[in-house]
Amino acid sequence: MPDPHRITRDDVAHVARLARLSLTDEELDRFTGQLAHILDHATGLAALDLGAVEPTTHPYPLSNVLRDDVVGSTLDRDEVLGQAPAAQDGMFRVPPVLGEAP
Protein backbone atom coordinates (compact mmCIF):
# COMPACT_ATOMS: atom_id res chain seq x y z
CA MET A 1 0.00 0.00 0.00
CA PRO A 2 1.50 3.38 -1.02
CA ASP A 3 1.75 4.85 2.44
CA PRO A 4 -1.27 7.12 2.73
CA HIS A 5 -0.88 9.78 5.38
CA ARG A 6 -2.52 9.16 8.72
CA ILE A 7 -6.18 10.20 8.77
CA THR A 8 -6.60 13.64 10.34
CA ARG A 9 -9.39 15.41 12.16
CA ASP A 10 -9.99 17.45 8.99
CA ASP A 11 -10.25 14.26 6.92
CA VAL A 12 -12.87 12.91 9.30
CA ALA A 13 -14.81 16.17 9.20
CA HIS A 14 -14.68 15.99 5.39
CA VAL A 15 -15.97 12.41 5.11
CA ALA A 16 -18.67 13.15 7.70
CA ARG A 17 -19.86 15.99 5.47
CA LEU A 18 -19.82 13.70 2.43
CA ALA A 19 -21.81 11.08 4.37
CA ARG A 20 -24.32 13.66 5.64
CA LEU A 21 -23.42 13.25 9.30
CA SER A 22 -22.92 16.10 11.79
CA LEU A 23 -20.30 15.46 14.44
CA THR A 24 -19.66 17.34 17.67
CA ASP A 25 -16.09 18.35 18.54
CA GLU A 26 -15.90 15.51 21.02
CA GLU A 27 -17.11 13.02 18.41
CA LEU A 28 -14.61 14.32 15.86
CA ASP A 29 -11.75 13.76 18.29
CA ARG A 30 -12.95 10.31 19.27
CA PHE A 31 -13.74 9.08 15.75
CA THR A 32 -10.44 10.42 14.40
CA GLY A 33 -8.50 8.37 16.94
CA GLN A 34 -10.57 5.25 16.34
CA LEU A 35 -10.45 5.43 12.54
CA ALA A 36 -6.70 6.06 12.62
CA HIS A 37 -6.25 2.98 14.82
CA ILE A 38 -8.27 0.81 12.43
CA LEU A 39 -6.46 2.15 9.35
CA ASP A 40 -3.07 1.71 11.02
CA HIS A 41 -3.84 -1.96 11.47
CA ALA A 42 -4.55 -2.20 7.73
CA THR A 43 -1.08 -0.93 6.83
CA GLY A 44 0.01 -4.57 7.21
CA LEU A 45 -1.44 -5.08 3.74
CA ALA A 46 1.47 -3.03 2.38
CA ALA A 47 3.72 -6.06 2.92
CA LEU A 48 1.91 -7.96 0.15
CA ASP A 49 3.08 -7.98 -3.44
CA LEU A 50 -0.11 -7.03 -5.27
CA GLY A 51 1.40 -5.71 -8.49
CA ALA A 52 0.03 -8.41 -10.78
CA VAL A 53 -3.11 -9.20 -8.79
CA GLU A 54 -6.53 -8.41 -10.24
CA PRO A 55 -9.11 -7.01 -7.82
CA THR A 56 -12.11 -9.17 -6.82
CA THR A 57 -15.39 -7.29 -6.64
CA HIS A 58 -17.64 -10.28 -6.26
CA PRO A 59 -17.12 -13.83 -5.00
CA TYR A 60 -19.00 -15.66 -7.72
CA PRO A 61 -18.56 -15.16 -11.46
CA LEU A 62 -21.95 -14.24 -12.85
CA SER A 63 -22.48 -12.49 -16.16
CA ASN A 64 -25.29 -10.04 -16.80
CA VAL A 65 -28.53 -11.28 -15.32
CA LEU A 66 -31.59 -10.31 -17.32
CA ARG A 67 -35.20 -11.15 -16.77
CA ASP A 68 -37.77 -11.90 -19.42
CA ASP A 69 -39.53 -8.76 -20.59
CA VAL A 70 -42.96 -9.62 -19.22
CA VAL A 71 -45.26 -7.63 -16.98
CA GLY A 72 -45.23 -8.87 -13.41
CA SER A 73 -46.62 -7.71 -10.10
CA THR A 74 -45.09 -4.66 -8.46
CA LEU A 75 -45.31 -3.13 -5.02
CA ASP A 76 -48.59 -1.39 -4.24
CA ARG A 77 -48.10 2.37 -4.60
CA ASP A 78 -50.31 3.34 -1.67
CA GLU A 79 -48.59 0.79 0.59
CA VAL A 80 -45.19 2.20 -0.39
CA LEU A 81 -46.23 5.83 0.01
CA GLY A 82 -47.87 4.90 3.31
CA GLN A 83 -44.34 4.34 4.67
CA ALA A 84 -43.09 7.74 3.53
CA PRO A 85 -42.60 10.43 6.18
CA ALA A 86 -44.68 12.72 3.96
CA ALA A 87 -46.52 12.12 0.71
CA GLN A 88 -48.89 14.11 -1.45
CA ASP A 89 -50.71 13.46 -4.74
CA GLY A 90 -48.97 10.10 -5.19
CA MET A 91 -45.51 11.56 -4.62
CA PHE A 92 -42.93 11.81 -1.85
CA ARG A 93 -43.04 15.26 -0.26
CA VAL A 94 -39.80 16.91 0.93
CA PRO A 95 -38.83 20.34 2.23
CA PRO A 96 -37.35 22.85 -0.28
CA VAL A 97 -34.27 21.39 -1.90
CA LEU A 98 -32.55 24.72 -2.59
CA GLY A 99 -33.57 26.49 0.58
CA GLU A 100 -36.21 28.70 -1.03
CA ALA A 101 -39.87 28.96 -0.09
CA PRO A 102 -41.99 26.43 -2.01
Task: Pick the binder of other proteins from 25, 53, 69, 90 (CB under 8 A).
Answer: 53
Nearest approach in angstroms of CB 90 to other proteins is 13
At residue 87, the 3 state secondary structure works out as strand
Check: CB of residue 23 under 8 Å from CB of residue 12: yes
Looking at residue 18, the DSSP 8-state letter turns out to be H
What is the crossing angle of helices 9-18 and 25-42, to 10°? 100
Which CB atom, from 85 or from 90, has the smaller least distance to other proteins? Answer: 85
Pick out residues in 26-45 that bind other proteins (CB under 8 A): 31, 34-35, 37-39, 41-42, 44-45
Indicate the burial class of 69 (C-beta count within 10 angstroms; 0-12, 13-18, 19 or more): exposed
Residues that bind other proteins (CB under 8 A): 1-4, 7, 11-12, 14-16, 18-23, 31, 34-35, 37-39, 41-42, 44-45, 48, 50, 53-60, 62, 65, 67, 75-76, 79-80, 82-86, 92, 94-99
